[in-house]
Amino acid sequence: MIRKTLVATSFLALTAAPALAHNHGQTIVDIAVENGNFTTLGAAVEAAGLADTLSGDGPFTVFAPTDDAFAALPEGTVEALLDDIETLTGILTYHVVPGAVMSGDLSDGMMAETVNGQSVTFTVRETVLVDGATVVMPDIEASNGVIHVIDAVILPQ
Protein backbone atom coordinates (compact mmCIF):
# COMPACT_ATOMS: atom_id res chain seq x y z
CA MET A 1 0.00 0.00 0.00
CA ILE A 2 2.81 2.43 0.87
CA ARG A 3 4.55 1.90 -2.44
CA LYS A 4 1.28 2.38 -4.35
CA THR A 5 0.68 5.59 -2.39
CA LEU A 6 4.19 6.82 -3.19
CA VAL A 7 3.75 6.04 -6.87
CA ALA A 8 0.37 7.79 -6.93
CA THR A 9 1.79 10.76 -5.04
CA SER A 10 4.75 10.88 -7.40
CA PHE A 11 2.50 10.76 -10.46
CA LEU A 12 0.20 13.50 -9.14
CA ALA A 13 3.12 15.67 -8.10
CA LEU A 14 4.84 15.28 -11.44
CA THR A 15 1.71 16.10 -13.41
CA ALA A 16 1.22 19.16 -11.22
CA ALA A 17 4.85 20.26 -11.65
CA PRO A 18 5.67 20.37 -15.36
CA ALA A 19 9.26 21.48 -14.74
CA LEU A 20 9.84 18.14 -13.03
CA ALA A 21 7.71 16.03 -15.36
CA HIS A 22 9.75 16.45 -18.53
CA ASN A 23 13.32 15.69 -17.54
CA HIS A 24 14.49 13.31 -20.24
CA GLY A 25 18.26 13.59 -20.54
CA GLN A 26 18.50 16.18 -17.77
CA THR A 27 20.86 15.79 -14.85
CA ILE A 28 19.92 16.23 -11.22
CA VAL A 29 21.34 19.77 -11.30
CA ASP A 30 19.46 20.65 -14.52
CA ILE A 31 16.15 19.55 -13.01
CA ALA A 32 16.73 21.40 -9.74
CA VAL A 33 17.75 24.63 -11.49
CA GLU A 34 14.82 24.58 -13.93
CA ASN A 35 12.22 23.84 -11.27
CA GLY A 36 12.51 27.15 -9.42
CA ASN A 37 11.83 25.68 -5.96
CA PHE A 38 15.48 24.88 -5.32
CA THR A 39 17.26 28.22 -5.77
CA THR A 40 18.87 28.07 -2.33
CA LEU A 41 19.98 24.48 -2.88
CA GLY A 42 21.35 25.44 -6.30
CA ALA A 43 23.29 28.38 -4.85
CA ALA A 44 24.65 26.18 -2.07
CA VAL A 45 25.70 23.42 -4.48
CA GLU A 46 27.42 26.03 -6.66
CA ALA A 47 29.16 27.68 -3.68
CA ALA A 48 30.42 24.29 -2.47
CA GLY A 49 31.75 23.43 -5.92
CA LEU A 50 29.49 20.37 -6.24
CA ALA A 51 27.57 21.33 -9.40
CA ASP A 52 29.95 19.53 -11.76
CA THR A 53 29.96 16.42 -9.58
CA LEU A 54 26.15 16.27 -9.38
CA SER A 55 25.98 16.83 -13.13
CA GLY A 56 28.36 13.89 -13.66
CA ASP A 57 27.60 10.29 -14.55
CA GLY A 58 26.41 9.15 -11.13
CA PRO A 59 24.11 7.59 -10.38
CA PHE A 60 23.22 9.62 -7.32
CA THR A 61 20.19 9.82 -5.08
CA VAL A 62 19.62 13.36 -3.86
CA PHE A 63 17.27 14.27 -1.03
CA ALA A 64 16.58 17.82 -2.18
CA PRO A 65 15.31 20.39 0.35
CA THR A 66 13.08 23.08 -1.13
CA ASP A 67 13.61 26.80 -0.68
CA ASP A 68 10.95 26.68 2.05
CA ALA A 69 13.01 24.03 3.86
CA PHE A 70 16.06 26.30 3.84
CA ALA A 71 13.91 29.27 4.90
CA ALA A 72 12.79 27.29 7.97
CA LEU A 73 16.37 27.20 9.30
CA PRO A 74 17.20 29.77 11.99
CA GLU A 75 17.79 33.26 10.60
CA GLY A 76 21.32 33.75 9.28
CA THR A 77 22.06 30.02 8.96
CA VAL A 78 22.16 29.90 5.16
CA GLU A 79 24.36 32.99 4.97
CA ALA A 80 26.72 31.56 7.61
CA LEU A 81 26.94 28.26 5.70
CA LEU A 82 27.76 30.07 2.46
CA ASP A 83 30.73 31.58 4.35
CA ASP A 84 31.80 28.17 5.73
CA ILE A 85 32.29 26.00 2.65
CA GLU A 86 33.62 22.99 4.60
CA THR A 87 30.51 22.77 6.79
CA LEU A 88 28.25 23.53 3.81
CA THR A 89 29.86 20.73 1.80
CA GLY A 90 29.39 18.31 4.71
CA ILE A 91 25.70 19.16 4.93
CA LEU A 92 25.12 18.98 1.18
CA THR A 93 26.92 15.65 0.78
CA TYR A 94 24.77 14.33 3.65
CA HIS A 95 21.82 14.77 1.26
CA VAL A 96 23.41 12.51 -1.39
CA VAL A 97 23.52 8.71 -1.47
CA PRO A 98 25.63 6.93 -4.10
CA GLY A 99 23.50 4.92 -6.54
CA ALA A 100 19.89 5.32 -7.59
CA VAL A 101 17.59 4.53 -4.66
CA MET A 102 13.92 4.57 -5.63
CA SER A 103 11.16 4.86 -3.04
CA GLY A 104 10.19 1.23 -3.67
CA ASP A 105 13.70 0.21 -2.54
CA LEU A 106 13.18 1.67 0.94
CA SER A 107 12.08 -0.18 4.05
CA ASP A 108 11.31 0.99 7.57
CA GLY A 109 14.48 1.40 9.64
CA MET A 110 16.73 1.07 6.60
CA MET A 111 19.96 3.05 6.69
CA ALA A 112 22.00 4.32 3.75
CA GLU A 113 25.49 5.72 3.80
CA THR A 114 25.71 9.21 2.34
CA VAL A 115 28.54 10.71 0.32
CA ASN A 116 29.85 12.45 3.46
CA GLY A 117 30.31 9.05 5.14
CA GLN A 118 27.48 9.25 7.68
CA SER A 119 24.22 7.33 7.32
CA VAL A 120 20.63 8.51 7.02
CA THR A 121 17.75 6.48 8.43
CA PHE A 122 14.41 5.93 6.71
CA THR A 123 11.01 5.66 8.33
CA VAL A 124 8.47 4.12 5.97
CA ARG A 125 4.83 4.39 6.99
CA GLU A 126 2.00 6.41 5.39
CA THR A 127 4.75 8.80 4.39
CA VAL A 128 8.47 8.31 3.97
CA LEU A 129 10.88 10.17 6.21
CA VAL A 130 14.62 10.51 5.84
CA ASP A 131 16.18 11.55 9.15
CA GLY A 132 12.85 13.11 10.09
CA ALA A 133 12.34 15.10 6.87
CA THR A 134 9.24 14.13 4.91
CA VAL A 135 9.66 13.05 1.30
CA VAL A 136 7.04 15.24 -0.38
CA MET A 137 7.79 14.23 -3.97
CA PRO A 138 9.58 10.91 -4.56
CA ASP A 139 11.23 9.27 -7.56
CA ILE A 140 12.03 12.16 -9.90
CA GLU A 141 14.28 10.41 -12.36
CA ALA A 142 17.24 12.21 -13.92
CA SER A 143 19.79 11.03 -16.44
CA ASN A 144 22.29 10.54 -13.60
CA GLY A 145 20.11 9.37 -10.74
CA VAL A 146 17.00 10.25 -8.80
CA ILE A 147 15.70 13.16 -6.71
CA HIS A 148 13.42 12.87 -3.70
CA VAL A 149 12.12 16.28 -2.64
CA ILE A 150 12.12 16.77 1.15
CA ASP A 151 10.52 19.38 3.38
CA ALA A 152 13.50 20.02 5.68
CA VAL A 153 17.26 20.34 5.61
CA ILE A 154 18.77 17.23 7.23
CA LEU A 155 21.91 17.70 9.28
CA PRO A 156 24.76 15.27 9.92
CA GLN A 157 25.74 14.50 13.51
- pLDDT at residue 19, as a whole number: 43
CA nearest 62: which of 135, 149, 130, 129? 149
Any idea where the domains of the chain sit in the sequence? 2-150
Q: Taking 60 as the threshold, does the pLDDT of residue 8 lie above it?
A: no
* Confidence category of residue 33, pLDDT binned at 50, 70, 90: confident
pLDDT tens digit sequence for 11-29:
333 333 434 444 568 999 9
Q: Which CATH number fits domain 2-150: 2.30.180.10, 3.90.1150.10, 2.60.40.1220, 3.90.180.10?
A: 2.30.180.10
CB of 130 within 8 A of CB of 96? no
- pLDDT at residue 25, as a whole number: 85
What's this model's pTM, rounded to 2 decimal places? 0.84
